[in-house]
Structure 1
Amino acid sequence: MADSHRVSRALLFVALVCACTQPQPPAPREAPKVARPVAPTADAADADRVRDLQYAYDPEQCVTEGEALLRVQPNDHRARAWTIACVADSGRRLEAEALADKMIAELPDEPWAAFARVAVGLVDRDFPDAGALIASEPLTTALAYHPDVLQLRARALLAFDRTDDATTLAVAHPEALQPIHLRALFKRSNDARDQLPAALAEAEKAQGVPAVDAAAAAAQALTQAERHDDALKWMEKAIAASPASVRLRQQRWQLWQQAPGRSDDEKREAIVRDVDALLELRGQQPSALLAAAAILRELGQVERADTLERRIAGEFTDSPANEKLLYRRIAAELGPDGAPRPERTAELRAELAGFLARPQLHEPSLREEAGRLRFELLRADPATPPDELLAAIEFMRVAGRTDLESAHTDGPIALAERGVHLERAEALAREGAAAIERFGAELRATGLALEVCDILRRDRLGLNYDALGAVLLAAGRLDEAEAALKQSQEVSPGYPKSLARLAALARKRGDMDAAEGYLAAGFEQDVPGRENPCKVMLEQIYREEHGDLKGYEKFVEKIKARARDIRRAKVIAGKAASPAPAPAFALERLDGTKVGNDTLRGKIAVIKFWFTTCKPCIDELPEFEKLIKDYARDREVEFLTIHSGGETEEVAQWMREHKHAFPVLLDRGFCQKAGIAAFPTFWILDRDGGLAYSLPGAAPNMREEFAWRIESLRG
């Protein structure tokens, strides 16, 4: 298992927390030291050229020129570091990691070697390496505040949504970090559209290589603002400065497809002309051939796309482009849900074996996904030899980057289900718990809210302890299994799989009442994509006891009532024993009237923290409005919402457009002061203004469970 785990906050928060986050300004820190001038060296211009090619979104040319430079100047450590970064950015991630590790081994005291490893860790924009962010800070002093390392540090901060920290650094080093300052301005304009004109005006001032990044950032922000024609104009500027960039050309093709006011034929002709122009410049570059083939196929030019793909497979067999092409063909064998098609299992297994046996694999995420798919196919086949199944799990253990579950949770459970390699299965599960704790520590070190980090950590630990319990159950170690499964429930309450295993264990001991209680506790839980194991077991038990399912529906109603009682008790248990006073606030509604703590005295107040671009916040608004309606005539209960960020007219216009009428207060920085990190978050204040309930994340069973909480405060 790799020691560092890459984290995509957008993915993790939506999938695991069901909450949005907005970057909050950190606590005040000591101002960064102003950069000291770096003494120029004879070969600085050559290394600058290598660096600038990466900044210009042209990593392939960066590699070509960097490698040529190093043949002449092998001791130019800065150029070597940037060349390694470009190797990673060109799609050769695994090779770049090996090159960085080799440089560190050869030059253990050379800061540019550490720079190379950090740069490689930040190449993946979806899954940046948390360890790279941590390692970037000491590098700033080790490299004497060189502009390159300041850029690296600032980009690391932006990768983890620490926009305010990046801005502070940019203000301290304006010449070195002009592109970062612009990136931060555009990032803020995504949430506050009124800031976009100022950001665009700043982008107009950019000169030289920074102008490429400024134009690309402007195009991205304008696209999010649905100003596609303006975005295209900025993208034209970027491409004029870096005409051979495949990445920029692909972004322009997407913009052309989205641009209004043009016919499909006009769009198609413009894109095909641009494809031809790119191939004229880079017709021997595999990434250009792959990009061209993909868009031509999308436009219906299948024969031409096939020709380009045959060139990739024939002339550039070991390239990242061919690796991606091969994996696309594997992915085409999967069903709509991403699972293997049963009728194509044999072919898919052969293709996966061939893919994983390639002499050089480049992209960690493709290697990881291919390993997971192979494991699933082997797991589904009862004829798979135990040693082959274990070998597939061990491969996932080594290849795992973003996926901790496959090797340390799904793998041990698969071995437990077959009763094979139980000793190794236990070791993998216990190793997984340690890996998850490291994952949690790295998340905290990135500056993410501790509350959110803990939710993510606990969610994964719940799955892992369940896997350990399954292994121990299979080994007949019932007391240890029970302890592990109860740990799963402690960190992830209501997880149906561990509840079903606890029920199975209780049945082994002859305690049917306890078994029924566990199954009732998990009966109403959702298990996406699968049957709820508590429901399955309950039906099985009933059939065994009665011979058929006659009367089962009446029995289920009894179980549902018991499940509801269990859930109600758990909900009420979340009330603070001695509610502390809620943080003081006095905020304006959209109509200008003020509401504060004093206004709410004597009432039970339900407060929702949200913002208009937070999908989980918006998804639950229909249920929230029904809840408000339930208490419309109840003078003892008041509902408020506090909108994070934004300006009065902007939020008011959104409310009008979406036909919402619930009360909205603008936070004016209150969310940060109050420590609100996840959105939505709900507060329920008692009559004395005490914070009785604090509920981060989207609220399931909202109307029923909030009614229980409100009634618990009537007193």
Structure 2
Amino acid sequence: MSLRSARYALRVGLLLVCAVHASCGAPPDYTAEELEAAKAELRDHVRLRTFEAGLLFGEDWVARAPDDAELRALYARQLAGWRLSREIHEQADAILADDPDEPWGHYVRALAYLSEIEYEPAIEPGRRAWEALRRPEVAAAHLESIRNRGAEHLSEVLSTLDPATRLSPEILLMQAEIQSQAQYELNDPTWADSSLATYSELRERWPDHVDGYLGAAEDLFRANRAEEAISLIEQAVALAPGSVDVRQWHWWILFLSNVLPADERRTAVEASIAAFRDSAPESVRGLYALADMYRDLGDEERAKEFEAQVIERAPLSRHATLIYGREYSTERSKLNELYREEGRDSPEYRAQLEVVRDAVYRYLERPLYTDRYKESAYMGLYSALGDMDPVPVEELAEAVRGLARYDRMNPHITYGTALLNMVDSTPYALEAAEIARSRGLQAAVDRAQLTRNSSRTEGEWEQSLRYYLSIVYDAMGWAYFKGGRIEDGRHALERALELTEANRETRYHLGQVYEHFAAEAEAREDDGAETEWFDRAEDSYIAGLGSTRMGENPSQAAIEALYERRNGSRAGIEEYLATLDERDQIRRRDRILESRVEAAGTYEPFHLPRLDGSLVDSADLEGKIAVVHFWGTWCGPCIVEMPEYQKFDVRYRDDPDVRVVSISNDTSREVVEEYLTRNNFDFEVLMDDGYVQRAGIPAWPTTWFLDRDGYVQFVKRGNTAKLDEEFTWRVEAIREEARRP
């Protein structure tokens, strides 16, 4: 019998003994003191990051004391060192099955999500655990769960902890990691010094805690300070010679830096490897680390030997799944290299597409650790199939279905590009529309939610949400249209355009819908409707020519085809294309001037403070053409147009006849000041005191254009892509009207 089989049989036997004892009321085979000693030993494994030995020790003790929630939580912490999310969830299930309110169970649930780097689902169990169980390790999990909210928010939460908790090794480590995170988020390298100082405090207060040495060594190595890093990592090795985490960093620093002459590096690494294997129990995680290191050393044969051992010992493990994925990842890398060197149309690139496809299929047939690992595989499969010529229809459709089942992080691809490809290349347009409707919209909200905590203002977050939603609505609308549900397609596409005007695919798709309506009008000989729909299609294509997104613009070919359709030939098309910008300006200007308020009225007077506290009375606007702009940093459409608004404000800043003011609906003056400073904006801002409610502002942004007598001549609701130009037309129209006798 193998050692692994013997250990498994022993664990099963222990579980059966425990079950018999429980039913008969027999006493456990350990004392209370022994149980507490076991918990202390598990904490030592966390302190030293010796999760391999800790996992084996914890397995045996959980079998002996399965009802002790704290013991299971300490065992789960060993599993978290391996990022074994499935097994951690099983421990949480076992704890919470006995008591749904057990805080250790919620702590373990948070650990399970954090091991998958899923911060949002970890927030609620992390919070519940911390509210009920004021332990440093629980506080650390709570802080880790809100990491996406940004370093500044994390620092605020950190400051609320009691002094004893703040000085615990778990929280000092979190503080150092938060400070390290801040240097990148805030673009301030001085935070790196703060992080190193906190690691130093951790070592001083807790000299036997390996993270004080390991964390600092990692940061120093990344900062190209390997000479300082090597001393710290060697102290960590002395503390924890059997830790995979410590040894891996030791190997990398020895091999990838200049602390040793090049001809001595491999010898030093192999000596460290030998010492590691002597001091640590052989484990799947350790074997996987050895495979990685030998591959870095250029020894592919040894790397594959260790990988084969991983698969033989644990074919269903997370580490085996990572090894299975290496083949298709390698083939995808070759594909990308061929694309750069040979181009998309080369025979070599085309042949490699099939190699990638076959490698992904082999991977998906494997026994994978969890379905999460199918996400990137289906993304690679979709990309390869979509580039084939001809596209394998059924395979592509199934790849998109797989993406919709498993992808969580890329709604702009899965429910945007991929669905559009499914619509254009397969007969499953209406299925694509249903995928967008039933899954895509929620996926867009979920993805935007991940950016909410890192967004500096609500407006920036809303901008992100609108971006993702517009992509899904665009794919849904195009799918409905191509599937024959024309009106549903039109409404979804127009919704996409309301969310984000700059999506050029939406402009093209809407142009196609409008051409369809023009063809219907032509069939029933309704010349007026035909012309109107053709004009709308032309406007949509012209707007699409100026929209963002890289690559080939579909509106270019569409507008040329439309010209030929309306004129019967391409004669004169070059002259026509040369006038597109002018035609676009004329049409937009005509529509704007036609939008002038028919019965101009006055507005509710105001008396509002600037950011510096000085007051502005609306009476100060009398005798001038005034522009009053209502906005807020929480408003996504407002944020989008702010650079254009700054240009417009500068245009009229020195004009004695014109006054431009903005009224912010934010509740915090500090938020507005920080936003203006960060973006180098200096337009005049008045702070709302309830005025927008009194004035009945119905939408954001809203802008009033007042004549010299205080009458509102134009009202613009919603954001404007070409604000500077179109606001200027309104101001100059009012000025021109005033000059007339």
Name the TM-score, length of structure 1 as normaliser: 0.69
Deviations 1:273-293 (A, max 9, x none): 434443444583333333333
Alignment of 1:242-641 (within 5 A): 242-256=240-254, 259-260=257-258, 263-282=261-280, 284-334=282-332, 335-336=335-336, 341-362=349-370, 364=372, 366-379=373-386, 390-410=397-417, 412-418=419-425, 420-431=427-438, 432-440=440-448, 444=452, 449-510=457-518, 511-528=533-550, 530-542=551-563, 552-562=573-583, 584=611
Query: Residue type of the partner of 1:168?
Result: S
Aligned-partner Cα distance in 1 for 2:590–2:233: 57
- Are 1:156 and 2:145 an aligned pair? yes
Query: Residue type of the partner of 1:115?
Result: Y
Deviations 1:231-252 (A, max 9, x none): 3333333333333333333334
Q: 1:421 to 1:170 in 2, by over 3 A?
A: same
RMSD: 4.8
Secondary structure of the residue aligned to 1:520 is: helix
- Are 1:146 and 2:135 an aligned pair? yes
The 8 Å contact of residues 474 and 492 in structure 2, kept in 1 or not, is answered as yes
Deviations 1:72-106 (A, max 9, x none): 11112223234335435424334544554465445
Aligned-partner Cα distance in 2 for 1:580–1:51: 63
Find the partner of 1:167 among 148, 158, 177.
158
Aligned-partner Cα distance in 1 for 2:535–2:213: 66
Query: Residue type of the partner of 2:156?
Result: D
Q: 1:224 to 1:135 in 2, by over 3 A?
A: same
Aligned-partner Cα distance in 2 for 1:543–1:597: 59
Aligned-partner Cα distance in 2 for 1:514–1:111: 60
Alignment of 1:100-139 (within 5 A): 100-101=92-93, 103-105=95-97, 107-124=99-116, 127-139=117-129
Q: Which structure ranks higher in relative contact order (CA pairs < 8 Å, sequence separation ≥ 6)?
A: 1
Q: Choose between structure 1 and 2: higher helix proportion.
A: 2
- Deviation at 1:422? 4.6
Deviations 1:205-245 (A, max 9, x none): 43448832232332344345543322333333333333333
Q: 1:705 to 1:444 in 2, by over 3 A?
A: closer
Aligned-partner Cα distance in 1 for 2:246–2:680: 42
Name the TM-score, length of structure 2 as normaliser: 0.67
Q: 1:328 to 1:706 in 2, by over 3 A?
A: farther
Aligned-partner Cα distance in 1 for 2:93–2:582: 59
Q: 1:102 to 1:236 in 2, by over 3 A?
A: same
The 8 Å contact of residues 469 and 480 in structure 1, kept in 2 or not, is answered as yes
Find the partner of 1:178 among 165, 172, 187.
172
- Deviation at 1:272? 4.0
Aligned match of 1:611: none
- Deviation at 1:54? 4.1
Find the partner of 1:227 among 225, 228, 252.
225
Secondary structure of the residue aligned to 1:219 is: helix
Q: 1:500 to 1:707 in 2, by over 3 A?
A: closer
- Deviation at 1:193? 4.9
Deviations 1:47-70 (A, max 9, x none): 343355345444443332221221
Aligned-partner Cα distance in 2 for 1:171–1:184: 18
- Deviation at 1:501? 0.6
Aligned-partner Cα distance in 2 for 1:292–1:104: 37
Aligned match of 2:199: 203
Query: Residue type of the partner of 1:180?
Result: M
Aligned-partner Cα distance in 1 for 2:236–2:730: 60
Deviations 1:85-132 (A, max 9, x none): 5435424334544554465445433322222111111224xx432121
Q: 1:540 to 1:635 in 2, by over 3 A?
A: closer
- Are 1:71 and 2:92 an aligned pair? no
477-486 or 45-54: bigger deviation: 45-54
> Kindly, what percent of the aligned residue pairs are identical?
19
- Deviation at 1:487? 0.9
The 8 Å contact of residues 289 and 308 in structure 1, kept in 2 or not, is answered as yes
Q: 1:283 to 1:74 in 2, by over 3 A?
A: closer
Gaps of 5+ in 2: 1-31, 519-532, 596-602, 622-626, 628-642, 657-667, 689-699, 703-721, 736-741
The 8 Å contact of residues 218 and 234 in structure 1, kept in 2 or not, is answered as yes
Aligned match of 1:681: 679
Aligned-partner Cα distance in 2 for 1:240–1:707: 68
- Deviation at 1:477? 2.0
Deviations 1:459-506 (A, max 9, x none): 110111001101210222222211110111111212011111100011
Secondary structure of the residue aligned to 1:43 is: helix
Aligned match of 1:87: 79
Secondary structure of the residue aligned to 1:278 is: helix
Query: Residue type of the partner of 1:522?
Result: G
The 8 Å contact of residues 170 and 178 in structure 1, kept in 2 or not, is answered as no
Aligned match of 1:615: none
Secondary structure of the residue aligned to 1:336 is: helix
Deviations 1:2-55 (A, max 9, x none): xxxxxxxxxxxxxxxxxxxxxxxxxxxxxxxxxxxxxx9873442343355345
Aligned-partner Cα distance in 1 for 2:589–2:281: 65
Secondary structure of the residue aligned to 2:331 is: coil
- Deviation at 1:398? 3.1
The 8 Å contact of residues 311 and 320 in structure 2, kept in 1 or not, is answered as yes
Aligned match of 1:20: none
- Deviation at 1:547? 8.7
Secondary structure of the residue aligned to 1:232 is: helix
Aligned-partner Cα distance in 2 for 1:419–1:251: 49
Aligned-partner Cα distance in 2 for 1:504–1:317: 52
